[in-house]
Chains A and B, each alone.
Chain A
Amino acid sequence: MKKGVLEISLRPAAGQIKTQDTETALQRLLSALAPLLSLAISVSAILVALVEITRNDLEAYPVPLLAGLCVVLELLFIDVYRQHSRWDFQLLIVSALSLVFLLVLHALPEYVTGLQLNAVIHRSIFSIIFLLAAALPALVASIYYLLGATPRAEDLSRYPLLLIPPALIISLYFILIWQLVLHGYKTFDWSILLRPYFHTFTPEKYYILGDWPAWRVAEHLSVGIQNQVLGTGLLILLTSAISVPIGVGTGLYLSEYGSGWFGSFIRFITGSLRAISLLVLALAALTLANLFDNTPLEGLFRGTFNNGLNTLSSPGGSYLTASIILSILVIPVIVQVTEQGCRSLPPDLREGSLALGVSEETTLRRIVFPWALPNIITGWLLGCAEAAGCMTVLLFLAPPWHGDNGVGIFKQVTSLAYLVWDIYYGEPIFKSYMQTYQFEAGLLLLLITLVLGILSMLTKDLLAKKFRGG
Chain B
Amino acid sequence: MSGIIAYGNAIPRRRIEGTAIRAVWGNLAESFLDMLSIGERAVLGSDEDTLTLAVSAARSCLERAGASGTDCAKALGSGAAKALGISAAKALGSGAAKALGIGAVVLGTATSPYASKAAANVLKDALDLGAEVLACDVQCAEKSGSTALILARGLIESGAVARALVVVADTPNRHTPPGNVTEYVAGAGAVAFLIGKEAGLAEFGPWKTHSWDQNDYFRLEGERFVRSGAGFYGWVANWGLLDHVVPAVASFFEATATAPADYSKFVVPQKTGIRALMTMGKCGLDMMQVLPYVLTQMIGDAGAAQSFLSLAHILDWAEPDERIGIVDYGSGAGCDVWSVRTTQALAAGRPETDRVLDQIDDKILVDYAAMLKLEQKMLRPADQLSNFY
**A complexed with B:** no
- Residues of chain B whose beta carbon lies under 8 Å from any beta carbon of chain A: none
